[in-house]
Amino acid sequence: MSDLTFLMLLFLGLTLGVVLSIYHVMRQKRRRSVLLLIGTLLVVSGYVLVIGNLAFGYGWGALWWAVLGLAMNVFGLIVHLFVIIYHLLLKKRRVRS
């Protein structure tokens, strides 16, 4: 796999994660969870760090910021998924009782 293909797949995956997390936050009608907002903030800020450093950064310093941005993005997506799963389980529990 060439470097350009890898970068395009990384860009596509990160963009899809950002779009889905923002869509989920905007879709909620009731009170938004603080953890969900923190997860979305981590996803968006990690996305900005990764894409900004891939576009404008150079050298080992930029690599550090890109890795930090990718870690923030992944952690934000994990928090986001846990909050979604928790709300689904809570809704299922309410329906049963």
Tens-digit pLDDT profile for residues 45-54: 888 888 888 7
Of residues 48 and 61, the one with the higher pLDDT is 48
Report how far residue 80's alpha carbon sits from residue 86's, in angstroms, rounded to the nearest whole number. 10
pLDDT recorded at residue 78: 86
Query: What residue type is assigned to position 29 of the chain?
Result: K
Buried b (16+ CB within 10 A) or exposed e, 11-35: eeebeebbeebeebbeeeeeeeeee
Q: What is the average per-residue pLDDT within 30-56? A: 79
Q: Identify the H or E element spanning 23.
A: helix 3-27
The DSSP output letter for 91 is H
Least Cα distance to 39 among 92, 90, 5, 87 occurs for: 87
pLDDT band, very low/low/confident/very high, at 58 (cuts 50, 70, 90): confident
The DSSP output letter for 28 is -
Report how far residue 71's alpha carbon sits from residue 2's, in angstroms, rounded to the nearest whole number. 23
